[in-house]
Amino acid sequence: MSLSYRQPGVVLTDRRFTVPLDHDDPAGETIELYAREVVASDKADDDLPWLVYLQGGPGFGANRFIGRQAWLGRALKEFRVLLPDQRGTGASTPANRQTLPLRGGPREQADYLTHFRADAIVRDCEVIRPQVTGGAPWTVLGQSFGGFCTVNYLSTAPEGLRAALITGGLPSLDAHADDVYRAAYPRIERKVAAHYARYPQDAERVRRVAEYLLQHQPVLSSGYRLTVEAFQSLGILLGGSQGSHRLHFLLEDAFVRTPWGVALSDAFQEEAHSLLSYAGHPLYALVHEAAYGQDDRATAWSAERVRAEFPQFDAAKALTGEGPVLFTGESVHPWTFDTDPALRPLRETAHLLAERTGWSPLYDRARLAANEVPVAAAVYHDDMYVDTAHALETARAIRGLRTWVTDEFEHDGVRAGGPRVLDRLLALARNEI
């Protein structure tokens, strides 16, 4: 039974669906998907078209909006919106260190997690769409990894789409994970340089923190091992609109004097842990590189291997000279499963996924070249998370896709830009501009 309730200006309805774990075995095991329906209070009884939001990630549940925040306010002017928690996330059947042992050992867990990629998410959408819309196609808004899912949707089930809107999420159609990270590290270096240009005092602060971590190797109260590599990964913040400022304020009070000498402050450790821990989204760490798997090559800890090609990211070496200590960005490494207590029990499972070959293709160039669905995509210039050159190459491969290339926003433009980004994409898809 669906439950409806209200927030300022909106009516919310909790909806739950049953879908096959393996869509190639529809009579087999099932899992539950949760989705939140949102409609404007003054349109609650209207017959409106549907917009479904595909969240970034992988491994994050849908945004928990309050009222008409961010892009949602614009969407509610004409749509009834569905915010699904993609399989394994949020209030859907969870996949984490507490639940995965129900599958068996690491091999069984890894096999289970092969069903948590973009193709399965799209097939989930097609199972629930008739129950939601009565069979009518809907508009999809895909942010980041949600854009990857949207391109898969266009490749495999375009009949389910009225229109497709993509923000910061046009994937390479055939690049291996190595190609993705080989393009990523120079972008990350540029973002770090821009941060140090904005906050030059942070260069010395970062060196001090890195030196301290190499000497003391602290273990936080949560059991998190704050290594220098983990500290560097705070650079993931630099891909967001306010990330550089957040990183600066974090570094501002990194140290405190104690009777035993200078130490990392509790405030710094607490904030760093909240940013670094995967306890709330472990699936991101487990299937992040698998999101790029499409052939007989294993991903084989791609981000870690490719990082070795960029020695300037080695903090210990940087500290022996005068060069800056560089942050890294959106990447998962073998050591991630050693530092984070929420991931340690899943270490072997992660290694098995990294070694896996025979991934099924995610995108169909021929179908994309014959596309008839109205598509519009925001491409953020020098996006730290998604390579602009890869995105534009894919845009050219999708028939009729219209791009909006902008440096006004970072990767989170659809959130930070309020209604403006969605408004522009709708106008592009409708040929109004």
Active site residues: 144, 383, 411
239, 384 contact by CB (below 8 A): yes
d(CA 166, CA 149): 10
Residues 6+ apart with CB under 8 A from 308: none
Strand ranges (E), 274-429 = 375-380, 402-406
Query: Nearest-CA neighbor of 283 among 66, 44, 112?
Result: 112
Distance CA 362, CA 151 (A): 9
Question: Nearest to residue 337, comparing CAs of 282, 271, 274?
Answer: 282
Tokens representing 52 are 């479904």
Q: Rounded to whole angstroms, how far apart are CA atoms 313 and 250?
A: 21
| HEC sequence for 333-364 | CCCHHHHCCCCHHHHHHHHHHHHCCCCCCCCC
Residue 74, strand partner residues: none
Question: What is the full DSSP assignment across 28-93?
Answer: S-EEEEEEEEEEEGGGTTS---EEEEE-STTT-PPP---SSTTTHHHHTTT-EEEEEE-TBSTTSS
CB neighbour list of residue 237: distance below 8 Å, 6 or more residues apart: 243, 244, 246, 247, 275
Residue 4's DSSP bridge partners are 13
Edge-to-edge strand ranges of the sheet holding 375-380: 3-7, 10-20, 30-40, 80-85, 50-54, 138-143, 161-167, 375-380, 402-406
